Chains A and B, each alone.
Chain A
Amino acid sequence: QLQLVQSGAEVKKPGASVKVSCQTYAYTFSANYMHWVRRAPGHGLQWMGWINPKSGVTKYARQFQGRVTMTSDTSITTVYMDLVRLTSDDTAVYFCARGQLDSSDFEYLKDWGQGTLLTVSS
């Protein structure tokens, strides 16, 4: 059964960094891009970036460039999202999501991890 299993909740102080993992099961890890999306309280879904797990090529949303790094480890079919210089605005639930090609050869997000709550507070 296909699953995306994320690491547990984190509490960080402003200025700190966080690394969230997303371990995948029961599909060909290299076959799909993995996206990271967050949802902050009172806000909608916000795309952060994607990674090609096979090549390691990434693309980040402009808002996060310079602060986010996405990596993959094919040996354990896991992707990671690092976010540095945290502020209270980064308090949110972070999701990994498996991309799937749509009819226009772009992507939708077919399967989602359970989410990781990040709280940034002094």
Chain B
Amino acid sequence: SYVLTQTPSVSVAPGETATITCGGINIGRKSVHWYQQRPGQAPLLVVYDDRVRPSSIPERFFGSNSGNTATLTISGVEAGDEADYSCQVWDTDFDHPLFGGGTHLTVL
């Protein structure tokens, strides 16, 4: 079955840019969605359809998708961005959502 691979952790200083990747075979042919989950909270959709931000999500969150890697880029990282970020695609073999293992973003 399809597999999504995420780096377990990423650390950046405040104000820097965080790059979170999601790897999968030909993932560029799929629609990729990203969720932020702060400790003790429900997941929050931050990007859908590779690069579209819900209206409440700041422009600092940018998604892209090509080849075998989808990327969530967070510019001007703030302390409040510290969270787990998970990518999601649709597993067409089994007809259900599939999540990556998640990346924990630490703001130093």
A binds B: yes
Chain A residues near B (Cβ < 8 Å): 35, 37, 39, 44-47, 49-50, 59, 61-62, 95, 97, 100, 102-104, 106-115
- Determine whether the beta carbon of A44 is less than 8 Å from that of B99: yes
Nearest chain A CB to B100 CB, angstrom units: 7
Q: Number of contacting residues on B, CB 8 A?
A: 27
Chain B residues near A (Cβ < 8 Å): 30-31, 33, 35, 37, 41-45, 48-49, 54, 84, 86, 88, 90, 92, 94-102
Query: CB-CB < 8 A to B49: which residues of A?
Result: 102-103, 108
Nearest chain B CB to A52 CB, angstrom units: 13
Nearest chain B CB to A13 CB, angstrom units: 25
Query: CB-CB < 8 A to B30: which residues of A?
Result: 104
Would you give 24 A-B contacts (Cβ < 8 Å), ordered by A?
A44-B86, A44-B99, A44-B102, A45-B37, A45-B43, A45-B99, A45-B102, A46-B99, A47-B98, A62-B94, A100-B48, A102-B31, A102-B33, A104-B30, A104-B90, A107-B97, A108-B31, A108-B45, A108-B48, A108-B97, A109-B45, A110-B54, A112-B42, A113-B42
